Amino acid sequence: MPLPILSVAEMRNWESATWATGITPEAVIARVGRALANALLERSSPGERVLLLAGRGHNGDDVRAAERWLQDREVRLISVMDPDAACVAIDALENESVPWRPDCCVDGLFGIGLNRDLDARWIRLLERVNQFRCPIASVDVPSGLDADTGLPRGGAVRADLTFTIGAPKSGLVETHAAEWVGRLEVLDDVGLLDPSEMIKTPGWASTELSWSQRSDFDAFPGRRKVSSHKGTYGHVVIAAGSMGFHGAAALAARGAQSMRPGLVTVLTPEEAYLPIASQLASVMVRPWLPGGTLPESATALVVGPGLAAYGVRERFESTVGSWWCQWPGPMVVDASALDWIRSLPSPPANALRVLTPHPGEAARWLGCDPAEVNRNRSRTLRRMADRGEWVVLKGHQTRLGTRQGPILVNSTGNPGLAQGGTGDVLAGALGGLLAQRALATNPSDALAYGVWEHGAAADRLEARRRNWRAEELASELGS
């Protein structure tokens, strides 16, 4: 199950409920230390230098508990009771006869209990930590950052990676917190009471937000029956591409193929037919004529990638509008086509509609500035879903939801996705999933998986090399 995104008070209630069962804080700290060490070992090599900065509270105890498990690493631990003394100790490392400079710094100075602004001495220490020319990993929350608001209490560590404990804290998923949080990962197997037990507790997890986990998709999309055939897995039709934007159609088609629907067809304006058809082998490509009908076997529709050339909207807007208002199957609307359907009435009852805007497109839809979109991404999602659509609001920690109910915050992805074509791959992948009737019956799971796997594929590529391209993302999906 997705993890709830918690306030500090809710996290404290979870801890109290755990202690009431007889589990001790010391036992959980030991588990956190082991989990933290394992995460650090996965991201480092034998012989690398690891600097541990452990503060006075349990956050520091978590870091101290990790030391014994950091085998084959050169570890230095500074227990920080006084900020000035800590600065002196850090400087002393660099002033040794052979300067000792860390390959990784682990920040455990302040945890979620920080409820005051820091004085100048502590701020100087945090600034000194930020001067390290190595990756910084914070434990639970970057020191100095308010875990509820995501704002610094005078100053904060700028982490490259934050290992939060148990579940994400509400302030850590705010867009403005990203420059301090870096990549957010959860150490969830640390001995706290199972979240499924906490659901019975009054006041538990009042937030509308939840955090996707790899384990949510262990059984998804499921095994294929031996007796199945291509008709079993549906037919996704992708209306995409135009002169000068032919790559978007090809990428969307490849994204759809990665989810293995039975058939994929691309409809594209006549002038883009040849450059698109020449790139695709097992995808059917047909010239798209104004007013043309969909194949009778179509079970999902994707509209928008690459429909940006001059004159395309004038020719095809009414066709797309009729599909939106009348076609009963799932329809994913992306890119330029978002503007085409903005003022249309609601689609048929129970007709699944999915919008996939990036923040700029969401701002254009709502008539506001992209900065306003990012200030409150959940509110933006709700406003765009006012006719009952599902909205996939792309960007850092993509959010997925409807006009009411839970909103899923996606846990995968990296800045490598900030390149042309990756959104086309996602739109196609979502269409490829929804074309399969067995998956479309539970659209929340299908969409969540598509978004999660899109980010996870990017993470796998990024781990191998930095200069991967959108074409490779389509091939990596589902692998």
User: Per CATH, the architecture of 20-201 is what?
Assistant: 3-Layer(aba) Sandwich (3.40)
Distance CA 314, CA 316 (A): 6
Kindly state the tokens that stand for 298: 């179509």
Question: What pLDDT tens digit does each residue of the chain (479 aa) get?
Answer: 889 999 999 999 999 999 999 999 999 999 999 999 999 999 999 999 999 999 999 999 999 999 999 999 999 999 999 999 999 999 999 888 889 999 999 999 999 999 999 999 999 999 999 999 999 999 999 999 999 999 999 999 999 999 999 999 999 999 999 999 999 999 999 999 988 888 777 667 777 899 999 999 998 888 888 888 998 899 999 999 999 999 999 999 999 999 999 999 999 999 999 999 999 999 999 999 998 889 999 999 999 999 999 999 999 999 999 999 999 999 999 999 999 999 999 998 889 999 999 999 999 999 999 999 999 999 999 999 999 899 999 999 999 999 999 999 999 999 999 999 999 999 999 999 999 999 999 999 999 999 999 999 999 999 999 899 999 999 999 88
pTM strictly above 0.85: yes
3-class SS of residue 12: helix
The beta strands (E) that lie in 235-281 are given as: 235-239, 263-269
SS3 142: coil
**CATH of the domain spanning 230-476:** 3.40.1190.20
- Domain extent listing, the chain: 20-201, 230-476
- What pLDDT is stored for residue 403 in this prediction? 94
User: Which helix (H) or strand (E) segment is 408 a member of?
Assistant: strand 407-409
Instruction: Report the residue count for the chain.
Output: 479
In terms of DSSP bridges, do strands 209-211 and 183-187 run parallel, antiparallel, or are they unpaired? Answer: unpaired
pLDDT at 203: 66
Cis status, amide bond into 83, omega within 30 of 0: no
Whole-angstrom Cα distance, residue 414 to residue 402? Answer: 24
Phi, psi of 28 (to 5 degrees): -70, -40
CA–CA separation, 49 and 67 (whole Å): 12
**What's residue 128's pLDDT?**
96
